[in-house]
Amino acid sequence: MIESIKLIFQEHKDFRKQIFMLAKSDLIKIYRGAALGWAWAVIKPLMTLFVFWFGFTVGLRHGKAVNGYPYFLWLVGGFLPWFYMRDMIQGGAECIRKYRYLVTKIKFPISIIPTFTSLSHMVVHLFLLAVGIAGFWIMGFAPDIYYLQIPFYMLLMFLFYEIWGLFAGMMAAISKDFLNLVKATVQALFWLSGVIYNVDTIENPVVRTALKFNPITVIAGGYRKSFIYKEWFWEDKIELACYAATFIVFLFLALWAFKKLRKEIPDVL
């Protein structure tokens, strides 16, 4: 395991310039050929938010204000990180197959591919985050001291999904069935992760605690703590411990996959 960690760090050090160049290239590919270009980074999320706001507020009439904030802004708080996480759950699993030519033709380090993929999606997330903060401000909720912890949750999110990308990307490169499984679970993860509901309101304590092992739940809840509930990340130590446990498990899985599959993937692809 230690040797794998050293190799991954060395590859990132040696190819640090290429990481940013490929992240830029990956970002350009996302919106290439679209007349509205970067506007789609805002249009698509806004359409999703509108559908859920309309469904719960107008249709089901359950969209009440939360902690003094309109329900729409409560949705924004959880959806902002979800868009990045959704893209990385599937995009991380697809990344090595997507860039197979780097692996098969020029022997590019496999550990780098999830990194620049995650970076390109993070740029989109930063753009959306800026739009979201502006929206809160326009509606009369100016940034406050709790916004300072948003970078902390962003870092947790980026690190976890880079590790996920390494593990899932290598597994999906070996088995297309694994990739299909990931695609099939994205929607289920959305409904099981507290993106559109507050996990803390679940009455069953076992279910409530189990959901805290879900990184999506922790990150979406963390953004809402910053935007809506005004709570610090260290106030829920159990949540942080659960997140750390999940992170360590996937770190070992990623290192295992890297050690076992790294040399086989070019031949399989």
Task: Report the 3 state secondary structure along 223-255.
Answer: HHHHHHHCCCHHHCHHHHHHHHHHHHHHHHHHH
The neighbouring-strand residues paired with 47 are none
What gap in Å lies between CA 35 and CA 30, rounded to an integer? 12
The pLDDT, as a whole number, for residue 40 is 62
pLDDT band at 151 (very low <50, low <70, confident <90, very high): very high
Tens digit of each residue's pLDDT (9 = 90 or more) over 128-141 = 888 889 888 988 88
Q: Is the pLDDT of residue 37 over 60?
A: no
Q: How far apart are CA 178 and CA 134, in angstroms?
A: 39
**Partners of 66 in the β-ladder:** 69
d(CA 39, CA 268): 38
Q: Has residue 214 got a pLDDT over 80?
A: yes
Number of neighbours of residue 197 by Cβ within 10 angstroms = 13
DSSP conformation class of 149: G
Q: Is 67 helix (H, G, I), strand (E, B) or coil?
A: coil
CA geometry: angle at 136 spanning 51 and 143, to 5°? Answer: 150
Residue 18: pLDDT band with limits 50, 70, 90: confident
Q: What is the C-alpha to C-alpha distance for residues 132 and 226, in angstroms, rounded to an integer? A: 12
Confidence of residue 17 (pLDDT cuts 50, 70, 90): confident
Model confidence at 41, in pLDDT bands (50, 70, 90)? low
Phi, psi of 56 (to 5 degrees): -85, -35
Annotate 184-237 with three-state secondary structure: HHHHHHHHCCCCCCCHHHCCCHHHHHHHCCCHHHHHHHHHHHHHHHCCCHHHCH
Report the range of poorest mean pLDDT among 47-51, 146-150, 261-265: 47-51
pLDDT reading at 121 higher than 80: yes
pLDDT at 60 over 70: no
- Summarised one tens digit per residue, pLDDT across range 179-202 is 889 988 988 888 888 888 888 887
